[in-house]
Structures are given as C-alpha cells and as structure tokens.
Amino acid sequence: MTTDVLLEATDIVAGYLPGVDILTGCNFELGERELVGIIGPNGAGKSTLLKAMFGLVQVRSGEVVLKGEQIANLPAHHLVTRGVGFVPQTENVFPSLTVGENLRMGAYQLHKSEIDARIDAMAELFPRLGERMRQRAGLLSGGERQMLAMGRALMMEPSVLLLDEPSAGLSPAYQDEVFVNIKDINSTGVSIVMVEQNARRCLEICDRGYVLDQGKNAHEGSGYDLLTDPKVIDLYLGTLAKA
Ligand SMILES: Nc1ncnc2c1ncn2[C@@H]1O[C@H](COP(=O)(O)OP(=O)(O)OP(=O)(O)O)[C@@H](O)[C@H]1O
Ligand SMILES: [Mg+2]
C-alpha cells in the first residue's frame, strides 16, 4: 500500500459501445514517485483502463481521483493541464513531422522560450533525439520512436505518466534501452503507470504491479510478489517464468 496516492481509480465500469462494459469493476492506485505495472492477457482491458483514467473512454460508474480531485470523464486536454501525460499504444508520433516538431506539438500551450527550454531538456534526457531534431519521425528506429513518444508526453512536465506498451515491437536491445529510460524518468520524480506485454521485464523494474483479466483485477502486489506467485507464473508469465 502506498501513503501519498496521486491517482486512484475505484470500481471502474467503462466501455466503448452502449450496453457493452469492458471494465467491470477495476481498481487501481498510483502513489507519489511510484512505478507501477499493469499486465494481463490480450483483450483484458489494460489499454481501456489507461484510457478511462485519461478521459478517452467513457467511465460509466466508479471514481477516478487525481490529487484529491474527481477527474472521471474530464476531457484529455484538461488532464494534460493537471499534470498527466499519456503515451498511447499505437500511432504515438506524427511520422511526417520532424523530431523537433513532434516535441513542440507536446507543448503548444507553452510560450516559445519555455518550449525551447523543454526541448533542450528532452535532448539531454534522450541524446539520440537531440542528434536527430530535424529528422522526420517516420525515419526513426522503433526504440527512438518510443523515446520521442515519451519525450513528447514529458514536454509539459507531467507528474504522472501513463505508458501503454512502451516496449512493444522492439528488439531486446531496444527494449532494455526503453526500460532504462523509464527508470530514469521515474527517478526524476515522475510517477509512472506502464502497461506491458513483456510481463516479466515489467515486474522486474516496477515497485508494484496489477494483473488484469477479463476487465477485472486478478492479482496485485509488489513486483517481486507477483514474479514469485505460482498462480501468476502459471497463468500470466508462461514458460519464460520457469526458465
Ligand atoms: N475502440 C474500441 N471500440 C470497441 N471495443 C474496443 C475498442 N477498443 C478496445 N475494444 C475492446 O475492449 C476489450 C479490451 O481491449 P483493450 O485494448 O483494453 O485490451 P488490452 O488488455 O489492452 O489488450 P492488448 O494486450 O491486446 O493491448 C477488447 O475486447 C477490445 O476488443
Ligand atoms: Mg492494449
């Protein structure tokens, strides 16, 4: 359990189509400076939970509270101004725009001098992006593209970052790099929620984790507890866990 809760979702029922609930009573909590993972099978509702907390899916009942304020069903741009950044699972950069232009898009509300300062900060955090500011995002490698997507979300200096499958589609070397980036960002004080298919790797670096299954919480605990829980191993971590 955490003491200073930043973001809390309670008994969330949410879905896309009328009469079809995808989340059927989900609970989630993110503490100050925590790195929390969400794992579970395809279609479990992991992305839906992130989107429900970011105003992109209708919350039909339940509460989402950010820093003590009710935020369920607030539009996403209101959440950005309240310090939440979101990196979606797919299409998270504009391929025809340059790296620099993509970063600027993340902070168009700021003054030019502030934007320039934030871009410098992102170039320092992700040196590979710094070297490619004028290159089109569509020409980046998969790992660089994930860095750019995270960089864009970080332009507004969020206190909470929601990441949907940051390592998807990357080679093991790029995955390692992205996980190091995520740890680094977390160590600067940003609280992070990360949905991951790469369940073992995710739980190894997270403080706590949740397993979602069929729109509900199935298990939760410290990363270590989940990695060593025989039921979680058997159902969700597969043969890799026994290697
Ligand atoms: N835009 C949408 N409209 C209707 N149904 C949707 C939509 N997006 C997702 N769903 C449905 O919601 C359910 C949960 O999807 P979700 O994307 O949250 O799963 P997930 O756990 O993120 O899966 P994955 O690991 O494959 O990314 C699925 O049955 C999916 O078909
Ligand atoms: Mg998903």
pLDDT value at residue 170 = 87
* Pairing relationship of beta strands 84-87 and 191-195 according to DSSP bridges: unpaired
State how many domains the chain has.
1
**Averaged pLDDT for residues 58-82:** 95
Residue 238 falls within a domain, yes or no?
Answer: yes
| Residue from 12, 16, 51 whose mutation best tests the ligand 1 pocket (most atoms within 8 A of CB) | 16
Q: pLDDT per residue over 3-26, tens digit each? A: 699 999 999 999 999 999 999 999
Which amino acids bring their CB within 6 angstroms of ligand 1? 16-17, 22, 40, 42-48, 89, 197
Residue 34 lies in a domain: yes
* 122 contacts 184 by C-beta, under 8 angstroms: no
Query: What are the distances in angstroms from CA 180 to CA 56, 77, 195?
Result: 28, 28, 16
> In this structure, which ligand is nearest to the CA of 49?
1
Question: Considering the entire predicted model, what is its pTM?
Answer: 0.94
Range of the domain at 43: 5-90+157-242
List, in order, residues 6 or more apart from 158 with CB less than 8 Å away. Answer: 80, 83, 84, 85, 190
* Longest CA pairwise span in the chain (Å): 53
Residue 218, domain member (yes or no): yes
Take atom 1 of ligand 1 and give the residue whose Cα is closest: 16
User: Is 99 a domain residue?
Assistant: no
At 90 the pLDDT is 84
The CA 177 to ligand 1 mean position distance, Å, reads: 27
Average pLDDT over residues 84-100: 93
Q: Output the residue whose Cα is nearest ligand 1's atom 24.
A: 42
Name the closest-CA residue to atom 17, ligand 1: 47
Is residue 92's pLDDT more than 50?
A: yes
Q: pLDDT band for position 243 (50/70/90)?
A: very low
Instruction: Examine residue 71 and state whether it is found in any structural domain, yes or no.
Output: yes
Residue 219 lies in a domain: yes
CATH code of residue 219 = 3.40.50.300
Mean pLDDT over each residue of the chain, to the nearest integer? 93
Establish if 121 belongs to a structural domain. no
User: pLDDT at position 2, please?
Assistant: 46
Whether 202 is covered by a domain: the verdict is: yes
Q: Which of 82, 62, 81 is nearest to 72 (CA)?
A: 62
